[in-house]
């Protein structure tokens, strides 16, 4: 294959981009900052969607769909939220084109088709959804509302990177309404647990669960919970957030309900989301210089079988065995592809399947058949094993679980190695620059200190971990007393 | 229940709207012409999506995702397509809001954030996709490309109706690229068959498969194939279209491939789509004055069990049996809900489940238990039957199939009754006004005649049926010779 991936060690950012492009995951588009998600990448996103959707439904949620556009006056209603997103909004101002009288065959925006009120392309849907909920909620009997939406959103980013930061991205956004504060907080935390479960047990990506500081909170939230992952280059990635919105949106949109005693009160809200950004996190958690590595539970194709043969007769002999193996594996709900293209040689196929991250490759040669054996290669370790054909089902089943576990353990070990406790600001800066990773340090709890550290080092507080260990100490920056360490890092 | 549905016979249009709103399918939104798809409606759309997605994959297609926005210069490239959609395009002209200096707390569009080139919110994605395919196709080895996208699109409609015609709607759009004309035409026809299969065997909605006339063709297509259904009020509804695009988009975006002989040629294209409009078609195919009727194969809940009891002890006794029945049905892959809410009386529940179109209702009373019987009601005929408890699994399985078949047959019979052959223009107009439905008439084949008939009667040619019977005749309008009848109707 002529495709070459820049080694991670040489240029991490270029390595990432090479993987995305060369493994056919996504592509740049003609629209500034917008990506095309290619079939190979989209198939993984579909697996993510299916898994998450089931988790949401198992926790009592249903799906719905709300408009793409938000009238400006609604968008403004919750001031903090509006302020937080105002600088990155795509705005629709006209609803018609017309032929350019100066330039036949070309179109111009028809100045007579100007909207009375501009429409914002949703950067997030709290405003349009809470304006809708107002009509749906009258009494406690209408609560809770547990609704999720799969949608595209637009945030006009100046610096974009495929999957990690794009002007348009795909996501899900849950928006729930509750009668009590406690119930809303419980929901917020439940969805954080769902996200952590998905990240760790499906993406094989260990995460720290925690709460954001006021500076890093979602615009319009009382509290933002987050799962934070660590990429191979030692930078943090916020992988999912769950917001306790208090009564902020209920007040902005005047959404009240009658409680059991008939008294009117504002409704309590949550919202939570993960996006195609997870695709970037997946790539940067496991892949290597040969290409993508996909955890088996999210791999659209888990096993690929490659025949090694001479001539049509040879292929027929190998195919007979290959098809039996394929069928046996499929009966165990393992997804298998038999790559019997005659246009490519086995070596080319091996490289391609490695590049695209298929967890297990089975090679079957004519000589193997005589011995009753096949060769099995695992993508994560790039190691091979010859086994007896009759062992294949059990071997592959177990191996898929092994790979899933191994990927998680490897990522966890890396994260542990890249998590450092520091006690001074000097040490803090040195670790950030030389070792990178999560830095656990005491902080005085003020937004001012946090902001100064960010300006001086580009590190932010990723979160205050849930059930954080309490420990006396002094802030690395101000020297003021502190009761706990928080998680700092440079982040995507 | 206080909800009242306007009878069909009194006001069909109001009846339709009442069903959509009162069965909780969808709602109007704060955005002109955009709807909110409520959870009850969205669950049906999800069943449609899952079914269609599997059909697309079974015919070799994969999913991908392309940008929401199309730069104006790309949008213009295929002139007919651009012209066809220019008058209904939402246009993004700015990418930032700022605080209104005159009006603190309010936002205005930042005039300094004007885009150099306007972005069109996709009304359909041929332009952005063919501009992308240009980079993906070099040789015949890259063909065919068989890609589908699930997405939202925007067409600025002046008169909107929930599901049937909305400014934003959800749909799928397939976009395929082929080396030969024959292969592209075969693909176009294959997808028409997939749509017809879905309409008839899942939606229980009979359709006529045919080709559109030049006047009714998709802007930019060489041929548009369509499935046409007939609603209860005798109006036609275009339920899905599959376009043979010739080399029009390949030429507009300069997409060439090297064939096996190394010669460069333009690529052949198709596109095909169905949308949330199918939800409207579903409602208008089967529902009645009691509410929605959903064909079992698309019903998110196929069976609801309602307990009839006095006191907690009574409920416990009934629940024991209900839960066993529920489990047994679920083992047969039947989706069941046990409605044991103690806040509502059985009569209220019966009316609600009828309104929402659940195919089968099982009522279990304390007295029934003594007799070992339960009462089963079918939504389509509103009839009831008492059966022995031990027969429930087989009875329900068979009944679900029965209901599915009955709904199709009823719709087919209605369509047959509302299909009329006419030989004169007088007869034509009389049938359109008094009987409504599909009118089969001779037409001289000219766009002029078609246009005049449309202006005078509001009837359009829905299609020229595939494998249409050839028959000598004269055009009802011009008296010129004709070789076949075509399908006229007033349409949604």
Nearest CA in chain A to B66: A36
Contacts of residue A155, Cβ cutoff 8 Å, sequence gap at least 6: A85, A88, A89, A123, A167, A169
* Multiple choice CATH, B419-489, 3.30.110.30, 3.40.50.300, 1.10.10.10, 3.30.70.260: 3.30.110.30
Residue in B with minimal Cα distance to A105: B79
- Does residue B377 contact residue B293 with C-beta atoms inside 8 Å? no
d(CA B55, CA A67): 28
How far apart are the CA of A336 and the nearest CA of chain B, in angstroms? 15
Give the number of other CB atoms < 10 A from CB of residue B236.
25
Residues of B in contact with A91 (CB under 8 A): 92-97, 109
Rounded to 5 degrees, what are φ and ψ at A304?
A: -120, 135
Kindly tell me the burial class for residue B109, based on how many C-beta atoms sit within 10 Å of its own C-beta (0-12, 13-18, 19 or more): buried
Distances in Å between the Cα of B138 and the Cα atoms of A23, A435, B376 are 18, 45, 61
CA–CA separation, A235 and A249 (whole Å): 33
Cβ A197 vs Cβ A55: under 8 Å: yes
DSSP A434: I
H/E element, A328: helix A311-331
- Fold: same for A301-398 and A419-489: no
CATH assignment of B303-399? Answer: 3.40.50.800
The answer to whether the CB of B341 falls within 8 A of the CB of B349 is yes
CATH label, A301-398, candidates 1.10.287.3510, 3.40.50.720, 3.40.50.800, 3.30.465.10: 3.40.50.800
| Alpha helix stretches (DSSP H) within B332-441 | 346-355, 366-371, 392-417, 425-430
CB contact under 8 A, B67 and A29: yes
Q: Inform me whether the C-beta atom of residue A79 falls under 8 Å from chain B C-beta atoms.
A: yes
Q: Which two tokens stand for residue A228?
A: 């934070």
Residue A249 CB: number of other CB atoms within 10 A? 28
Per-residue pLDDT for chain A (492 aa), expressed as one digit of tens each? 446 899 999 999 999 999 999 999 999 999 999 999 999 999 999 999 999 999 999 999 999 999 999 999 999 999 999 999 999 999 999 999 999 999 988 999 999 999 999 999 999 999 999 999 999 999 999 999 999 999 999 999 888 999 999 999 999 999 999 999 999 999 999 999 999 999 999 999 999 999 999 999 999 999 999 999 999 999 999 999 999 999 999 999 999 999 999 999 999 999 999 999 999 999 999 999 999 999 999 999 999 999 999 999 999 999 999 999 999 999 999 999 999 998 899 999 999 999 999 999 999 999 889 999 999 999 999 999 999 999 999 999 999 999 999 999 999 999 999 999 999 999 999 999 999 999 999 999 999 999 999 999 999 999 999 999 999 999 999 999 999 999 999 999
Q: Residues B263, B269: contact at Cβ < 8 Å?
A: no
Domain segments of chain A as ranges: 12-76+123-286, 301-398, 419-489
Do the Cβ atoms of A195 and A274 come closer than 8 Å? yes
- Rounded CA gap, A236 and A229, in Å? 6
CATH of domain B12-68+132-286: 3.30.930.10
CB A81 within 8 A of CB A127: yes
Any chain A CB within 8 A of the CB of B114?
A: no
Q: Which residues of chain B are within 8 Å of residue A106 when distances are taken between CB atoms?
A: 76
- What φ, ψ does residue A225 adopt, rounded to 5°? -95, 150
A29: chain B residues, CB-CB within 8 Å: 66-67, 128, 132
Interface contacts (A, B; CB < 8 Å): 192
Name the residue among A86, A112, A88 with its Cα closest to residue A98: A112
Interior/surface letters A207-233, b for 16+ CB within 10 angstroms, e for the rest: bbbbbbbeebbbbbbbbbbbbbbbbbb
User: What ipTM, to 2 d.p.?
Assistant: 0.97
**CB distance from B158 to chain A under 8 Å?**
no
| Chain A residues within an 8 Å CB radius of B95 | 88-91, 156
For chain A positions 338-357, those within 8 Å of chain B (CB to CB) are: 343
Joined together, the tokens standing for residue A276 give: 């195609």
Instruction: With CB atoms and an 8 Å threshold, state whether A147 touches B29.
Output: no
Choose which CATH entry (3.40.50.170, 3.60.150.10, 3.30.420.40, 3.30.930.10) describes domain A12-76+123-286: 3.30.930.10
**How far, in Å, CA of B474 to CA of B79, rounded?**
36
A118 half-sphere exposure, CB direction, 13 A CA radius: 21
């Amino acid at each position: 294959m002529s495709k070459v991936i820049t080694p991670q060690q040489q240029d991490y950012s270029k390595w990432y981009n090479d993987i995305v492009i060369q493994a056919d995951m996504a592509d740049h588009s003609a629209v500034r900052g917008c990506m095309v998600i290619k079939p190979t990448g989209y198939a993984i996103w579909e697996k993510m969607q299916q898994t998450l959707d089931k988790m949401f439904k198992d926790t009592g949620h249903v799906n719905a769909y709300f408009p793409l556009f938000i009238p400006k006056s609604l968008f403004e209603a919750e001031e903090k939220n509006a302020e937080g997103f105002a600088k990155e909004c795509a705005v629709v101002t006209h609803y018609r084109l017309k032929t350019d009288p100066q330039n036949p065959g070309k179109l111009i925006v028809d100045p007579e088709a100007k909207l009375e009120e501009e429409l914002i392309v949703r950067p997030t849907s709290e405003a349009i959804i809470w304006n809708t909920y107002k009509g749906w909620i009258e009494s406690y009997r209408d609560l809770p509302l547990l609704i999720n939406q799969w949608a595209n959103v637009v945030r006009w980013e100046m610096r974009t990177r495929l999957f990690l930061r794009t002007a348009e991205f795909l996501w899900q956004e849950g928006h729930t309404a509750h009668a009590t504060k406690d119930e809303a907080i419980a929901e917020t935390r439940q969805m954080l647990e769902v996200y952590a479960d998905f990240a760790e047990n499906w993406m094989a990506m260990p995460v720290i669960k925690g709460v954001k500081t006021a500076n890093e909170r979602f615009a319009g939230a009382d509290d933002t919970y987050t799962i934070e992952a660590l990429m191979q280059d030692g930078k943090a990635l916020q992988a999912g957030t769950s917001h306790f919105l208090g009564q902020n949106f209920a007040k902005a949109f005047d959404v009240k309900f009658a409680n059991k005693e008939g008294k009117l009160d504002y409704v309590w809200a949550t919202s939570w989301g993960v996006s195609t950004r997870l695709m970037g996190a997946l790539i940067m958690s496991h892949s290597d210089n040969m290409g993508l590595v996909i955890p088996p539970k999210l791999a659209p194709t888990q096993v690929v079988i490659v025949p090694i043969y001479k001539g049509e007769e040879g292929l027929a002999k190998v195919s007979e065995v290959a098809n039996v193996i394929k069928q046996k594996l499929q009966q165990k709900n393992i997804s298998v592809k038999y790559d019997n293209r005659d246009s490519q040689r086995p070596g080319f196929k091996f490289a391609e399947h490695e590049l695209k991250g298929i967890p297990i490759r089975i090679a079957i040669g004519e000589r193997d058949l005589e011995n009753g054996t096949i060769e099995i290669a695992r993508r994560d370790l790039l190691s091979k094993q010859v086994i007896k054909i009759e062992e294949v089902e059990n071997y592959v089943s177990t191996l898929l679980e092994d790979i899933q576990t191994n990927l998680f353990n490897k990522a966890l070990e890396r994260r542990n190695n890249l998590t450092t406790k520091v006690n001074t600001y000097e040490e803090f800066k040195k670790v950030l620059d030389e070792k990178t990773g999560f830095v656990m340090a005491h902080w005085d709890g003020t937004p001012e200190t946090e902001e100064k550290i960010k300006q001086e080092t580009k590190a932010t507080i990723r979160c205050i971990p849930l059930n954080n260990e309490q420990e006396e100490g002094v802030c690395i920056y101000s020297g003021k007393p502190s009761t706990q360490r928080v998680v700092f890092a440079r982040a995507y």
